[in-house]
Amino acid sequence: MFTKIKLFDSDIYMGSDCLSQLRNVIKKLNPSRVFIILDRNSKRYCLNHLVSVCKEIKQPYYFELKQGENEKSLENCQKIFNYLIKQNADRKSLIINLGGGVISDFGGFVSSVFKRGIKFVNIPTTLMAQIDASIGGKVGVNLNIHKNQIGCFNLPHSVFINYEFIKTISFDNLNASFSEILKYGLIYDQKLWQELDSTLLTCGDLSDLIEKCVRIKLEIVKNDYYDNNVRRILNFGHTISHAIESMYLYKGLIISHGDALAVGLICETYLSHVEFGFSRQKLNHIVDKISSFFNFKKIETLDHKPIIKFIKNDKKSSIGSNNFTLIKNIGSSVINCNVPNAKIVDALNYFKEKCQV
């Protein structure tokens, strides 16, 4: 059983046996060579299954990264370009990105620029990648400590969302990805939020939720692929979370995208409450729900100075102003909000007082 949805020319297959369709895709594309980009965990937990169900991938070439955000680097781009040249990759080669968001961002970018672009397929193996990173066509790498500064828009030929793959994801990582699911409800779908609010999100069968999130993202991206308008609502929580991730990279510390996003969502819900005046009670209710998945005590002190500095360098900011997406209410977002620094400091203090004491 699988479902197929289209985003422009890109096919998205979802379901526990969707990989059967990869066989047809490979037969049809008839690539000169297949390169699989993966990291040590997607190799350990997912590779055997992939090659056993898809015999059409004959003698693949592998490029393995370690794991984590640090791997999404220009240095690794250079390494893989050299490797692809050495292995005689040509424009008829196919790249398969098997892994989480780090792999689909990195592999998608590499595929987009190598020889001016070769086809790629995403097989997301984390919840974050299945509901968000592997679809929508934003691909890129970090520039040293600056998140996602080098990249482009380019859709995968196809995406295969196999729910079985996320069964080996750690509890913390799965929980962290719930922040992205909660975000979809907050920015776009009041009904989804109410559903999430009234049920216990657990690590059980997430297939329905994954499909709902994928459909929401596709609906938004179809209307504004190049992120000039409505797609920006997906950035809710991300202005502060990207700044936190950059600060962590700078300090040589590790934080997952999902954990950083949870902090970003809380701070930006606070800013939304201040800017658009919904009640303190509603603010606290949303924040309590988000907080229920996280242990925020492990988060390092959030020093506002570097965070504000990184916000100025965010791709969305322009000289002299920052760029936030906020919510007017649950399910209703406002893009392009310029927020004074003092309010950002207040939001970080609110987070510390509410979630870290």
Q: Which residues bind ligand NAD (CB under 6 A)?
A: 39, 41-42, 45-46, 67-69, 72, 99-103, 105, 125-126, 128-129, 132-133, 136, 138, 148, 165, 168-169, 173, 256-258
HEC states along 295-344? CHHHCCCCCHHHHHHHHHHCCCCECCECCEEEEEECCEEEEEECCCHHHH
**Nearest to 226, CA basis, from 161, 111, 115, 315:** 315
Nearer to ligand NAD, 31 or 185 (CB): 185
Nearer to ligand NAD, 44 or 191 (CB): 44
Q: How far is the CB of 185 from ligand NAD (least distance, A)?
A: 16
Nearer to ligand NAD, 45 or 61 (CB): 45
Q: How far is the CB of 348 from ligand NAD (least distance, A)?
A: 21
Nearer to ligand NAD, 68 or 331 (CB): 68
Q: How far is the CB of 318 from ligand NAD (least distance, A)?
A: 21
- Measured CA to CA, the distance from residue 291 to residue 263 in angstroms comes to 9
Nearer to ligand NAD, 101 or 237 (CB): 101
Residue 279 pairs in a beta bridge with none
Nearer to ligand NAD, 170 or 332 (CB): 170
Instruction: Report the chain's terminal Cα–Cα distance, integer Å.
Output: 47
Residue with tokens 């004491």: 357
Q: How far is the CB of 65 from ligand NAD (least distance, A)?
A: 9
Q: How far is the CB of 21 from ligand NAD (least distance, A)?
A: 19
The residue nearest ligand NAD at its CB is: 101
Nearer to ligand NAD, 236 or 350 (CB): 236
- Measured CA to CA, the distance from residue 68 to residue 78 in angstroms comes to 18
Residues 6+ apart with CB under 8 A from 167: none
Q: How far is the CB of 39 from ligand NAD (least distance, A)?
A: 4
Q: How far is the CB of 28 from ligand NAD (least distance, A)?
A: 26
Residue with tokens 């070439």: 61
- Measured CA to CA, the distance from residue 145 to residue 242 in angstroms comes to 10
Q: How far is the CB of 166 from ligand NAD (least distance, A)?
A: 6
Nearer to ligand NAD, 136 or 237 (CB): 136
* CA-CA-CA-CA torsion sign (238, 136, 227, 273): negative
Structure tokens at 294: 């996280």
The runs of H, that is alpha helices, within the chain are: 20-29, 40-42, 48-53, 74-86, 101-113, 127-128, 171-188, 190-198, 207-223, 238-251, 257-276, 280-291, 304-313, 341-355
